[in-house]
């Protein structure tokens, strides 16, 4: 039983607002809460209306704690219609109150004879910032009135609208929006970083003086810092198979992504080829979709922040593309582009060549960094003429370190200068000739090293008179160690080149004595 001499815990009484005691006799007693409102984000004020013919008694203020209503104060004056609860933390949770009235009985005890409905404060629960949308979602629980203590049947709210107030960086509160009382959240744009604070005020449009105010909820927003740099070092051919890109990125930003763009022409019509997710500073990407044997390719990459918004583009680089072709009997022409991506240009190019399928690359020349062509001239009498395939590659070496401390080298594709296999077969020879090369019958094969070579000589009756599998050995006109008779002989010559192509030649040769 609540004691009339209750010690009131931390409350403030404000009197003189109105006198609700009615003189004379009444058959009914009226006690209802007008509103429960948070004041200055610090305490809660409860205002009520009381009409009764009972003159002696007191009010009991009840506050819900953990779903149980506790008596927190007694007011022994029916003329008081206002109470301030200071012993709470208004930012912790919503608070619900109801008021009961007690009167003196004939036996000197007190009994409850009137009780209000329970009213719960409007309460901002959270303010969630979406850094990608740059919006704040303010959520709240609306003002609630329940029928009786312990039974949460919701009654109609005494308010029909809610004003959302906002303050930025400790500035004055201004109206951000006015909503229907049924709304319990709002999305507010927050494009500038700083502290945003919100409070709500619900009101009755028919009775604007009747209001309730929420707690204040603040949130500090930030923005995603853009990367300080995005540097594409180079695009270099690897193993004559694909292009490898070397990215250098600002690893201090959170969860970035990098979109790789490529084009094969001028700096137009770039298209995305892939997206990389990485938090590393040094990143490599292998573009196996680029045709390294058709033309140079240009690249740049675009940085996406953690919201996948583009925030920075890198510089543009191009690959080193080499083209080779036969120019004359003893000369091959090489042509290449001057690759982009070297901040101070190319210092020099190194040209390398290999011949035959089993050959190894050897350095031919070192050329100035502004040169884009080279002619490989070789002797018609040297061993170069035994190969029909000349393979070339070049590398470009930068002048000096770039702004990030890298001195890069870029490699080209392998370019093939394929020369047609040339076969010269004399139609006559004279063993007693004063000209040495006319003394022996054998073919002259240029631009190839014959493999599985065989030459067979027949007389007019189809008998084999000479047979060899050594390309370096020709027929000197002897048959069984004796001089053959002058006349016309038949030959069959067959061989295979190092690329697997087979040649078969048949014809006649005249032996002259």
Q: How far apart are CA 456 and CA 451, in angstroms?
A: 16
Residues of the chain with pLDDT under 70: 1-27, 148-153, 265-266, 380-387
For residue range 128-183, list pLDDT tens digits in order: 999 999 999 999 999 999 876 656 667 777 899 999 999 999 999 999 999 999 99
273 burial type by CB count under 10 A (0-12 exposed, 13-18 middle, 19+ buried): middle
Domains of the chain in start order, with CATH, are 11-120 (2.60.40.10), 124-142+153-221 (2.60.40.10), 230-318 (2.60.40.10), 322-418 (2.60.40.10), 422-511 (2.60.40.1220)
What is the reported pLDDT for 401?
Answer: 74
DSSP states along 174-235: EEEEEEETT--EEEEE--S-EEEEEEEEEEETTEEEEEEE---EEEEE--PPPPS-EEEEEE
DSSP-derived 3-state class of residue 384: helix
What is the reported pLDDT for 80?
Answer: 95
For residue range 391-450, list pLDDT tens digits in order: 999 999 998 777 788 889 999 999 999 878 889 999 999 999 999 989 999 999 887 888
Q: Is the dihedral of CA 23, 26, 29, 35 positive or negative?
A: negative
Residue pair 47/81 in contact (Cβ under 8 Å)? The answer is: yes
Q: How far apart are CA 123 and CA 229, in angstroms?
A: 45
List the end-to-end C-alpha distance of the chain, in Å, as a whole number. 150
Backbone angles phi, psi at 295, to 5 degrees: -170, 165
Backbone angles phi, psi at 436, to 5 degrees: -60, -45
Residue pair 258/250 in contact (Cβ under 8 Å)? The answer is: no
What is the reported pLDDT for 381?
Answer: 55
Q: Which of 219, 264, 220, 7 is nearest to 126 (CA)?
A: 219
Which contacts of 466-471 are long-range, i.e. CB under 8 A and separated by 24 or more positions? Answer: 471/442, 471/445, 471/495
Q: Which of 201, 185, 37, 14 is nearest to 120 (CA)?
A: 37
What is the reported pLDDT for 176?
Answer: 97
What is the reported pLDDT for 1?
Answer: 35
């Amino acid at each position: 039983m609540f004691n009339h001499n209750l010690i009131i815990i931390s409350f403030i009484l404000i009197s003189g607002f109105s006198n609700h005691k009615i003189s004379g006799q009444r058959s009914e007693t009226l006690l209802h809460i007008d509103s429960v409102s948070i004041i200055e984000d610090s305490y809660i004020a409860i205002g009520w209306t009381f009409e009764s013919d009972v003159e002696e008694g007191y009010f009991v203020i009840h506050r819900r704690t953990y779903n149980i209503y506790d008596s927190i104060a007694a007011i022994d004056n029916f003329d008081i219609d206002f109470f301030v609860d200071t012993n709470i933390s208004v930012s912790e949770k919503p608070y619900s109150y109801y008021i009961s009235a007690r009167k003196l009985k004939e036996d000197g005890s007190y009994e409850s004879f009137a009780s209000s409905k329970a009213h719960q404060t409007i309460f901002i629960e959270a303010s969630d910032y979406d850094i990608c949308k740059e919006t704040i979602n303010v959520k709240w629980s609306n003002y609630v009135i329940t029928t009786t203590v312990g039974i949460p049947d919701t009654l109609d709210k005494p308010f029909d609208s809610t004003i959302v107030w906002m303050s930025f960086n400790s500035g004055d509160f201004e109206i951000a929006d006015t909503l229907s009382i049924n709304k319990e959240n709002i999305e507010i744009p927050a494009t500038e970083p700083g502290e945003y604070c919100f409070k709500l005020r619900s009101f009755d449009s028919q009775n604007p003086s009747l209001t309730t105010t929420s707690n204040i909820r603040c949130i500090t927003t930030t923005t995603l810092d853009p990367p300080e740099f995005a540097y594409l070092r180079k695009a270099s051919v690897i193993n004559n198979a694909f292009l490898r890109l070397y990215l250098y990125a600002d690893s201090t930003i959170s969860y970035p992504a990098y979109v790789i763009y490529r084009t094969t022409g001028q700096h137009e019509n770039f298209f995305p080829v892939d997206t990389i997710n990485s938090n590393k500073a040094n990143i490599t990407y292998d573009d196996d979709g680029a045709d390294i044997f058709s033309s140079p390719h240009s690249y740049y990459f675009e940085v996406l922040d953690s919201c996948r918004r583009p925030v920075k583009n890198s510089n543009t680089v191009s690959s080193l593309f080499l083209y080779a072709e036969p120019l004359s009997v003893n000369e091959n022409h090489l042509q290449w582009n001057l690759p982009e991506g070297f901040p101070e240009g190319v210092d020099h190019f190194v040209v390398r060549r290999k011949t035959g399928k089993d050959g190894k690359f050897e350095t031919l020349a070192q050329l100035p960094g502004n040169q884009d062509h080279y002619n490989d001239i070789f002797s018609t009498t040297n061993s170069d003429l035994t190969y029909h395939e000349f393979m070339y590659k070049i590398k470009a070496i930068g002048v000096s370190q770039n702004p990030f401390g890298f001195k890069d080298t870029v490699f080209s594709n392998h370019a093939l200068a394929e020369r047609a296999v040339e076969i010269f077969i004399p139609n006559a020879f004279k063993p007693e000739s004063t000209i040495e090369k006319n003394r022996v019958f054998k073919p002259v094969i240029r631009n190839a090293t014959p493999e599985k070579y065989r030459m067979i000589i027949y007389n007019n009756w189809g008998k084999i008179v000479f047979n060899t599998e050594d390309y370096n050995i020709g027929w000197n006109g002897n048959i069984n160690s004796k001089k053959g008779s002058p006349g016309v002989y038949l030959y069959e010559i067959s061989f295979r080149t190092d690329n697997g192509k087979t040649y078969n030649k048949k014809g006649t040769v005249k032996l002259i004595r």
